[in-house]
Amino acid sequence: GVGVGIGGFSVPYDLLCEFCPNASRGTVMMSLWMFFALGSLLVVQVASVMLESQGWRWLCAYSAIPPALSVIGLFWVDESPNWLAVKGRREEAEAILLKAAKMNKVDLGPLELEHVDTGHLDVSILFTGSATATTMCIWIMSFTQCFCYYGIVLFLPHAMEVLTGQSLEIPSLGSSSPANKYPYWALTVSCSGEVIANVIALLVINSYPRGKLASFFFFGFAVTFPLIVSGVVDSVMVASAMLARLCAANAGNITWLATPEAYPTQVRATGHSWGNLLARSGALCATYWGARDDTTVVAIGFSTMAIIASTAAYHLPPGVMPGSNPRELLTKAGERVKINKPNQTP
């Protein structure tokens, strides 16, 4: 159930990405992750109150309430006009476009969608022409962003046991044996890094190219993660954990934004779905790599992958969606401004 929910998240994400105005897409899509960050903070607080008394099963039950409620909102979400047009349901697609235009007070005039022949869409289309370099960069970034993010999320609870001076054991329900108090405050501080990450991302997302920003945060993770296991004082360890989680969150969030922007409409869902598959693979690998006993080897592995992803992100080609490159000029309608270069005299 969890895998299906996470795996399907790319569909509504891309749908919203297509509906957003080009000039404000970055701000809108990055603001979504603030709810993710606040949810991370909330679940730590819930765990600190009831985990030791009620057990992990009830924690999972409480955590399932928000996604269960969100299902109700699906009844008010419009279908993708592009998907409807591809399926031959052009009248429905036109109705949704007219509805969106009316909400935004835009006059589309006479509207009639053309038939779009998408041909045979499979993974091979992602390696056609210039799309090859884009796909390779996206796949490396997607795998690594989940490898690093879920790696630190799963690693920190065990790493922070050293803050109590001894190993922690949560007693079974009904047990009268004492247990060391887990340092939930440290997890709260590290989780706050995601909230700070979202604020930073909202401030810079419209000022720098997506790939360069992701490269910066991947590299930041590679530098800060090893400090967690390097035997530094507790305050430095917690601060490093917060910064590493900040970098991992922003690297992932920007990768999510850059992926649908990298592909044209006809292959956008295909491209993001394959990228999401690589991301889930990275999360799976993180559970095994982070469980190794040698924390030095763990840190080297995570940092090495982050540096590789930083390099791939730095070389990520510009996205095809208007507005994906903050340095390009857009008209009031959100379209790219074409600048005619004057002819050079020999």
**pLDDT tens digits for range 215-248:** 999 999 999 999 988 877 888 888 999 999 999 9
**Which pTM value belongs to this model?**
0.80
SS3 299: helix
Higher-pLDDT residue of 140 and 9 is: 140
- Do residues 171 and 177 touch, judged by C-beta distance below 8 A? yes
Q: Tell me the C-alpha distance between 18 and 81, whole Å.
A: 9
List the structure tokens of 67: 């996604």
Contact status, residue 254 vs residue 207, Cβ threshold 8 Å:
no
Contacts for 297-302: CB closer than 8 Å, 24+ residues apart? 298/155, 298/229, 299/225, 299/226, 299/228, 299/229, 299/230, 300/226, 302/147, 302/148, 302/151, 302/152, 302/221, 302/222, 302/225
Residue range 183-219, pLDDT digits in tens = 777 878 888 889 999 999 999 998 899 999 999 999 9
pLDDT tens sequence across 49-66:
888 788 888 888 888 888
Cα separation, 265 vs 86, in Å, equals 11
pLDDT at 339 over 60: no
Q: Quick one: average pLDDT of 140-160?
A: 90
Other C-beta atoms within 10 Å of 306: how many? 28
Residues 6+ apart with CB under 8 A from 48: 182, 184
Tokens of 281: 């693979």
Burial 46-75 (b: 16+ CB within 10 A, else e): ebbeebeeeeeeebeebeeeeeeeeeeeee
Q: How confident is the model at residue 169 (pLDDT cuts 50, 70, 90)?
A: very low
How far is C-alpha 254 from the geometric centre of its chain's CA atoms?
6
